[in-house]
């Protein structure tokens, strides 16, 4: 009996039309374009309209991924949406997306691992396919982080943007996803969080993102290096076999430090944070789709995808396109 693997059959993404530049932020905050870009690499980000929820962004990205895969929407038999900004408390954004795509009966659920969410979702879908429980999975990262930002806090609001990215993962007789490694350490929950909730119709705690930037930076660089080596070992591969590195697009300095520690040249690092900002769970699939559609990432090339985010969560997946 032949083994079942999974491969990325199609990619898609969506960015809201509105672009917010650093210069616009500098008009109402004690900051400047130079200050933001020097510390983060970010020049601009996209901001969703008030009427655009995560499921709407996810829908546009999903349609493009499904079209690229050559499948019909009805062929999708698993939907996983990674998001920290769901449309509602419930039902899940995945179920709302399922209805908007005109699909019924397949499993649909959300994954909450913050900025590692897409990597977590991809690994989960891969295991479904390897087990024979799904043939064509839709994995989406979709965020409207602009809704949970304190726009008077220059330490956080300048970092984030909105967007969505998606892939269709299909069963195949040869490996596409070689290995995934997922990690978490809840002891670090306090360094990056939105410590609020609803109770009796009122917000308890804070509804805004809070971050201890220096601690996040140090931990992110450490764990991204560790998990890169772990996933390479799990796949039986060497760093030299990696054609492209797509880390979570949070801060260009974190990304460059990760590539340097791995011994990967800067030209193998995919960077979109300068134009997208940090789009949390959407950042990796957004960067992947942009690179695929630009002809930068080509069939047969090996790509390492990495996530790191609140929780504290992190993970990596090694893929042949």
Nearest CA to 47 out of 197, 168, 117, 151 is that of 151
Q: Give CA–CA dist 145/80, Å, rounded.
A: 19
pLDDT, tens digit (0-9, with 9 covering 90-100), for 96-106? 999 999 999 99
Nearest CA to 75 out of 182, 169, 207, 208 is that of 169
Contact 115/66 with Cβ under 8 angstroms? no
Please count the other Cβ atoms lying within 10 Å of the Cβ belonging to residue 295: 7
Residue 195 in tokens: 């410590």
Q: Is the alpha carbon torsion for 41, 320, 280, 63 positive or negative?
A: positive
How confident is the model at residue 2, as a pLDDT?
76
Whole-model pTM? 0.98
How confident is the model at residue 296, as a pLDDT?
98
- Which residues are tagged catalytic? 115, 248, 278
How confident is the model at residue 284, as a pLDDT?
98
Q: Give CA–CA dist 167/56, Å, rounded.
A: 16
Going by C-beta distance under 8 Å and a sequence separation of 6 or more, which residues neighbour residue 173? 2, 3, 4, 5
Instruction: Calculate ∠ Cα 106-109-139, nearest 5°.
Output: 80
pLDDT, tens digit (0-9, with 9 covering 90-100), for 152-194? 999 999 999 999 999 999 999 999 999 999 999 999 999 999 9
Q: Give CA–CA dist 256/278, Å, rounded.
A: 15
Tokens 């300068």 correspond to 274
- SS3 category, 187: helix
Nearest CA to 6 out of 180, 176, 181 is that of 176
With b meaning 16 or more CB within 10 Å and e meaning fewer, what string describes 37-51?
bebbbbbbbbbbeee
Domains parsed from the chain with CATH numbers: 5-174 (3.40.47.10), 178-320 (3.40.47.10)
Q: DSSP of 82-120, one letter per residue?
A: E-SS-SSSSS-HHHHHHHHHT--SS-EEEE--GGGHHHH
Q: What's the residue count for the chain?
A: 321
CA distances to 84, 214, 276 from 280, rounded to whole Å, are: 8, 18, 10
Q: DSSP code of 315?
A: E
Q: Which residues pair with 108 in a beta bridge?
A: 79
How confident is the model at residue 139, as a pLDDT?
99
Contact 55/100 with Cβ under 8 angstroms? yes
Residue 194 phi, psi dihedral angles, 5° rounding: -120, 90
Cis omega (within 30 of 0) for bond into 142: no
How confident is the model at residue 44, as a pLDDT?
98
Collect the ranges in the chain with pLDDT lower than 50: none
């Amino acid at each position: 009996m032949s083994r079942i693997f999974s491969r990325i059959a199609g990619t898609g993404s969506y960015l809201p039309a509105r672009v917010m530049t650093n210069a616009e932020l500098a008009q109402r905050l004690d900051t400047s374009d130079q200050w933001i870009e020097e510390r983060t690499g970010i020049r601009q980000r996209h901001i969703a309209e008030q009427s655009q929820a995560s499921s709407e962004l996810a829908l546009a990205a999903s349609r493009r991924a499904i079209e690229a895969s050559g499948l019909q929407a009805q062929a999708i038999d698993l939907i996983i949406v990674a998001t920290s900004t769901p449309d509602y408390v419930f039902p899940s954004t995945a179920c709302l997306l399922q209805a908007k795509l005109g699909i019924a009966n397949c499993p649909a659920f959300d994954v909450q691992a913050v900025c590692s969410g897409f990597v977590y979702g991809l690994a989960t879908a891969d295991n479904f396919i390897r087990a024979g429980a799904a043939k064509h999975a839709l994995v989406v990262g979709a965020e409207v982080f602009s809704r949970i930002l304190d726009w008077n806090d220059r330490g956080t609001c300048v970092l984030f943007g909105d967007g969505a990215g998606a892939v269709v993962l299909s069963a195949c007789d040869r490996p596409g996803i070689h290995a995934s490694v997922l990690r978490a350490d809840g002891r670090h929950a306090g360094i990056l969080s939105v410590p609020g909730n609803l109770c009796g119709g009122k917000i308890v705690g804070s509804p805004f993102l809070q971050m201890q930037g220096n601690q996040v930076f140090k931990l992110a660089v450490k764990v991204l290096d560790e998990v890169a080596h772990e996933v390479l070992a799990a796949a039986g591969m060497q760093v030299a076999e990696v054609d492209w590195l797509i880390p979570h697009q949070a801060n260009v300095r974190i990304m460059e430090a990760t590539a340097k520690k791995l011994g990967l040249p800067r030209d193998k690092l995919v960077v979109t944070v300068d134009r997208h900002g940090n789009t949390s769970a959407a950042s990796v699939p957004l960067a992947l789709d942009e690179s695929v559609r630009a002809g930068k990432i080509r069939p047969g090339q090996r790509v390492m995808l990495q996530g790191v985010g609140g929780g504290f969560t992190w993970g990596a997946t090694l893929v042949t396109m």
